[in-house]
Structure 1
C-alpha cells in the first residue's frame, strides 16, 4: 500500500474536494476503499460532487478561512466516522493581485490558501497525533510559491507560506516520540482545473488532468518523497529543478530579485537552463 494511512476503512478529509485536484483525490481514495469527507464552499460544485460521489461521502460546506467552520467540519467528520487518517488541505483560489493590489483580494486569497491550511493543520492534526494511528497530512502548495514569478503576488505569498508551514510541520511531527503522522507538500504542475481554465473550453495539450496529478502524488508518497514536485506535459523535472536553483541563486549570487524576468539577466538564465 502507498502509505499506512491510506488503507481501506480509513478516513480521508479533503478541503476543496468538490472539484479539480481535490475531487480527483476523493474519487481515488474512494476507489481504494477509504471513507471520504470533503469540504468546499462552492454550492454548485458541491451539488455536482454529491451526485457523482454518492451518499456515503460526507460533504460539509466550509469556508476554510474561518476557524469556526473548520472546527465544525472536524466535529462533523468525527461524529460520522470517528477518526481521520488522511488530511488533504487543498482548498485554493487565485487572482489576489500584485504587491500594490487590492487589499480585499489579498485577504481573500491569503485567507483561503494560507489560513485555510493553518486552520486545517491546527484543528485536525493534534487529534490525529493523539489517536496513535498512522496519519498523513498533504498540503497543496505551488511552484509559484517557490519560484515566485511576477504577477499574482498574493497567490505566490500564500503558497510560499504553505511550503514553510508544511516543512516545519513535518519537522515537528518527526520529533514526536512514537509518532506515526507525516506531512507532505504537493507541488502541482500545470493542471486543468477551474483555477487554470480561464477562457479556454478544452484542456491544453501541456496540462495534466487532476487524476494524473493524484496518481503521481500517490506514487511519490510510496517512494517516501516529502516534496511531491509534479511535472506536466510541458515541463519535466529537470527544468523545474533549474528554475528552483536559479531562484535560490538570486540570493547566493546577489542578483536582483526575480532576475529570471529581469532584462539584464534573461540571456544568462536561458544559458543556465540549457546547460
Structure 2
C-alpha cells in the first residue's frame, strides 16, 4: 500500500481524523475506574503532568498515592491533593522508579493501605540530551528512568492488579518524539519509542488474557507547560502550550472512551497535523525515503505540500 504524498482531495480524505479515532461506545460519562474511593498511583508526581493527574483524580474522589524522587516537589503536590481529599486519603512515597526495590516498596505500601490500584499513571520521565554518538552517561540516565523505570512499575504492579475484581487501567506516558523522532535528543526519542512499543505489547497481552480486567493506554502529551518544558524555571508560559491540567483532562476523557493511543493536541498543533506527521513518518519506512525525511533538504517542500493538501481536504 502506498503512503505517498496526497495529490488530490479524495486521496487526502483517507487521512482524516476519523481514521485515527477508536470506536466510541455509548457512555454515561464516567469510566468504571474513575469513582469515589478507588485508588490512583501516580509516578513523576512532583510537578507538571504528574502533579496535574494527582489533582484531577483527587477531584474525582479517588484516593491518591504520589511518587517521585523530588521530595520538595512531592510535598507541593501533597498539599494540593490533601486540600481536596484530606490527608487520610493520600500517600506520599518518595520513589526512584529506576530502582526495583523502591518500586516494590511503593506497591507494598499502597496495597497495605488500600488493597487495590484502580489507576496507575506510569509517568516519571527525564530529558537530558544524548546525541547518537555523544553523551553516553545521559543515555544511561534517560533509559534508567524513561524505559526501565516504566518497565519496573509495569512489571511490579500488573501482577498485583490482575487478580482484582474491579476494572483498572494502566496509563504509560509516551511522547510524540517517540513516534516521529524529531532531531535534537536521540536518547529521549529512543526511550519514548521504547515506551510506545512496550505499552503496545502490554495492551495486546492483557486483552488476550481471559481473566484480565485491566486495560493499558499510551498517553502522548502535546506541547505541555511542565517541568521538562520550562515551567520550573519561572519563564513565561508559551502561548502554544497547553497547561498540564488541560492535557490530563483530555487524557482522562479518552481513557473513558477506551482509546489506546491518546495523542494530545495543543494550542499550536491541531490533531489533524499530528496525524499527517505520523503518516509521513510511517511513509519513510514504507516508501524507502531517507531517514527523517521531514527534515531533509530534498523533501522539506514535499512534506509541506503534503500537510497543506491534507488540511485542505478537511476544510
TM bracket (short chain)? over 0.9
Q: Is this contact kept in 2: 1:30–1:36, CA < 8 A?
A: yes
CA offsets 1:174-196 (integer angstroms, 9 cap, x no match):
11113211000000000000100
Q: Is this contact kept in 2: 1:2–1:218, CA < 8 A?
A: no
Q: Is this contact kept in 2: 1:138–1:185, CA < 8 A?
A: yes
State the distance in 2 between where 1:47 and 1:32 align.
21
State the distance in 1 between where 2:30 and 2:242 align.
21
Q: Is this contact kept in 2: 1:191–1:210, CA < 8 A?
A: yes
The answer to whether 1:246 aligns with 2:280 is: yes
TM-score using structure 1 length: 0.97
The answer to whether 1:271 aligns with 2:299 is: no
Distance 1:2 1:107, change over 3 A: farther
Residue matched to 2:39: 11
The structure with more radius of gyration = 2
Question: Offset of 1:200 from its aligned partner?
Answer: 6.2
Greater Cα shift, 167-176 or 194-203: 194-203
Question: Offset of 1:219 from its aligned partner?
Answer: 1.3
Structure 1 unaligned residues grouped into runs of 5+: none
Question: Offset of 1:151 from its aligned partner?
Answer: 1.0
2:71 to 34, 43, 51: 43
The answer to whether 1:208 aligns with 2:237 is: no
| Higher RCO (C-alpha 8 Å, min separation 6) | 2
Q: Is this contact kept in 1: 2:55–2:80, CA < 8 A?
A: no
The answer to whether 1:237 aligns with 2:271 is: yes
Residue matched to 2:93: 60
Question: Offset of 1:104 from its aligned partner?
Answer: 1.2
The answer to whether 1:185 aligns with 2:213 is: no
The answer to whether 1:225 aligns with 2:265 is: no
State the distance in 2 between where 1:96 and 1:7 align.
39
The answer to whether 1:259 aligns with 2:299 is: no
The answer to whether 1:78 aligns with 2:111 is: yes
Q: Is this contact kept in 2: 1:94–1:195, CA < 8 A?
A: yes
**Helix, strand or coil: the match of 2:121?**
strand
Residue matched to 2:8: none
**Helix, strand or coil: the match of 2:193?**
helix
Greater Cα shift, 134-143 or 170-179: 170-179
State the distance in 1 between where 2:200 and 2:165 align.
22
2:167 to 131, 134, 153: 134
Question: Offset of 1:49 from its aligned partner?
Answer: 1.8
- C-alpha RMSD of matched pairs (Å): 1.2
Q: Is this contact kept in 2: 1:17–1:91, CA < 8 A?
A: yes
**Helix, strand or coil: the match of 1:61?**
coil
Residue matched to 1:118: 151
Question: Offset of 1:75 from its aligned partner?
Answer: 0.8
TM-score using structure 2 length: 0.85
**Helix, strand or coil: the match of 1:204?**
coil
Q: Is this contact kept in 1: 2:46–2:71, CA < 8 A?
A: no
Residue matched to 1:24: 52
